Amino acid sequence: MSDDCIFCRIGRGDISTAFVAESERLVAFRDVDPQAPLHVLVIPRDHVDSLASAGDESLLGELLGMAARIARDEGYADGGYRVVVNTGSDGGQSVPHLHLHLLAGRHLSWPPG
């Protein structure tokens, strides 16, 4: 947990944020700068720097499971969606608290930039 980590603060409820979904260990909320009609971030409440330092594989399973449930609940299971975990500098990670991006609602090209 970190006082100055923005996602820790969101996870603790210090910053008023509507949760799309939540569980004991996770919260999901809409990205402030959405890159698709659905753009949700799924994070652990407790601080983890990135996927590279995530040691708890059951937590990683919960994160993926919540992303899939949100996609289904929002109606994107059939049309498809993308889950992205930017990791570290070359991976384009800008917030150093592990998060999954769930993107849906438009055709997403490949490869990413």
> Shortest Cβ distance from residue 44 to Zn ion (Å)?
9
Annotated active-site residue 99? The verdict is yes
Please report whether residue 64 would count as binding Zn ion according to CB under 5 A: no
**31 or 46, CB closer to ligand 5GP?**
31
Which stretch, 23-31, 39-47, 53-61, 62-70, contacts Zn ion (CB under 5 A)? 39-47
Torsion of CA 73, 76, 77, 83, to 10 degrees: -100
| Residues whose CB falls within 8 Å of the CB of residue 67, separated by 6 or more in sequence, listed in order | 28, 40, 42, 83, 100, 102
56: tokens are 């708890």
Q: Where in 74-103 is the site for Zn ion (CB under 5 A)?
A: 97
Residue showing the smallest CB distance to Zn ion in the complex = 5
